[in-house]
Structure 1
């Protein structure tokens, strides 16, 4: 049994925009080799301004780092963030090091955090698609010194945020009790834990928009697979959750992990027709999967997909994670940055589409006809794995589609 077609604020092109707020999370691996970067794409020529508060522009000690960059139509502009931005603030303390990006045309931004053999990336959500209410989804902490974590950032002054954490936390607040923090525009607050803070709840009391990022300094996925990597992802506000998803294996990997979280009590979830109940808001189910699955639910849910550690299948790659977009979240042209590191040298995209649109969809100008598979549970959707090059890559379709773009190397990966 499946549930009815969703209606959601998660509309196509919700991930392209002209103004963005961003904050990076801590990664413990290779502390002396941090590289924080932005990868900006657009279908038209665009000018972007990147402003980093509280970081000196030069030896004169100016307070803000402000730079302007050009994005060529169909191209990718790569921007390295100054080393001074590298995570130095203490957990449980607020800082004004928010990164603000403004463009004169619609752009898509991918942010990457790389340090040593540890990386991950996320699509940055424009301010227009943010919300005021969130739940945290990441993964269990590995051990002492490798915490799970989340970051809350204000987009306006006089922002009042209620937090409720599911376990012991760096704010030293009681578990499952609500407390309040105050932030001004561009300030952010980081919470860390040696446990799993998945299910923690965040709400701005006056409805002001927040940018929220989740992840881990370094996580094992699954927990018994002792090969850790940084997790970093911008989370969707609850208004943009949905109740129709598809999860597809990452190319070259033996299996993957999915977590599904409920927004409301007594939510029923069907995974290829296998019905499961999530009895309480903020709770989740976790699945280890080898095949594609079609997911529907009685009420809106958030779905995250994780790559596994390399020790579980002896393949390139390590843990990374992506918040899956409800079907279907992109349209038109999407330009895909590939991000090389010391270890990552294989790049892929997995595209999901309606079979009725297969003749319209191309990747790098080539049709996916003849290079696709059907979702096993429903023939309405198909998917295709395509290996990418280090040069510009793109998806084009006069239709709606979803994608996962990812890179693998020995003991390192990213996904967005």
Structure 2
């Protein structure tokens, strides 16, 4: 815990700096000091991160589920909005001086309108205090007036330009960020689209040619995505009429007590050879053993470091997620694959792509994984690439192919940008066909 404190301090300092920057550009630079707009904007910038902290901490703290749901929407959506507001404002920093120059040149090019009027009457007498030499006040008055004429329009125009540019850049940043987040949220709440991928396997028998596996990962039932989300997924999977369904981890973000009703539609999954489940890292945050028992009640078969022979002519194996190692329940490839007949094709269900090296060593032909979300929020894919061998799609590692789904839900913000959710229908192809 003590070693974690410096990291926590750095994170909090970074969040504070980011929110100060947002407040400066979207509140201070565009509102009048002491005005109602500035007070309201400051309150919003202070309150929203508190919702975010509450949303992130409430699940781990086992807060009442009603409270988790109350803080999840504003807290998580603010995190997504904050990301794209900051990115847009940073782009705006490059645009800001260009706008200033354009407006300054336009102002300089405009003709100066000179008003012509009747000459003012010339005073016949000037009253001068006796203590002041004659002519000095007149010179001072003329100089002050000249300075006012020079400073007034220039300073006034300068302030006006700064305020105008700040409002244009800030407004554009908010509009772009809000549009991006709204579109990304719509994509998640609409439900995943079905992708179709054909994977040839050298050892797959002719009888299994065309065998269809519906792969779904990272459903992430929780305070935001609930029963309607799981029903959409069930309907989409069943419409593909798969031979087998593989749920490859991160089904939930919460306990069976809170999310059991949300998971009930999964009992409606239908496939000729059944539905199978392996744990993901989020199951170990939510009570993995309880969820394994519950998915069994829903009609899915958990594969916990075990293997079975599919009648079509290949082996199906599943391993626990690496997050289970802290509980003595990590992946055991020897137990799942050690004594199998390597002349048969083997398909492995493993939540995280990082175990691909173990799959290669044990002669797996195809590994089906999730976990990455495809990055979920661009440019998160760049970070995901640093931690995973494959972020999304099909790639080959030696004699083993790895397919990584982008997932059917979302963790944290119910938003996806540049990484649309998916369910994948993997069709196996025999080279003997």
Q: Structures share a fold, TM > 0.5? A: no
What TM-score, normalized by structure 2, do the two folds share? 0.23
Bigger Rg over Cα: 2
Bigger strand share: 1
TM-score using structure 1 length? 0.24
